[in-house]
Structure 1
Amino acid sequence: MNLHISLIPVISIIAGILILIKPKILNYVVAIYLIAIGVIQIFGL
């Protein structure tokens, strides 16, 4: 149960770094981030 609390900020930081490095991949990063958060919330990882 404690894993999703520490996993979401890590995903957010990685997504932010990718957007800063390559702004053109913003759509992909946002889409992958939203899918990952949805999966984490559904399965309670």
Structure 2
Amino acid sequence: MNIHVSLGPLVSLIAGILILIMPRLLNFIVAIYLIVIGLIGLFGLGAAHF
């Protein structure tokens, strides 16, 4: 059984969980999320499967 996890949804899930746990960090989490998604888009890591 192979499980393919792409990086974008994984980062989204982690960001969502952190926002639920620590709502005060919302601005930082959103900023980091946007930077990571932007870097994934620029360098084409969205197609990478781990």
Structure with bigger helix share is 1
Runs of 5+ consecutive residues of structure 1 not aligned to the other structure: none
Task: Indicate the structure (1 or 2) with the bigger Cα radius of gyration.
Answer: 2
Query: What secondary structure is seen at the aligned counterpart in 2 of 1:30?
Result: helix
Q: CA deviation at 1:43?
A: 0.5
Match of 1:22 in 2: 22
TM-score normalized by structure 2? 0.79
**CA root-mean-square deviation:** 1.1
Q: Which has the higher contact order (CA 8 A, sep 6+)?
A: 2
| TM-score of the pair, normalised by structure 1 | 0.87
CA drift of 1:13 comes to 0.3
- Counting matched residue pairs gives 41
The runs of at least 4 consecutive aligned structure 1 residues that moved more than 2 Å come to none
**Unaligned regions of 5+ residues in structure 2, if any?**
46-50
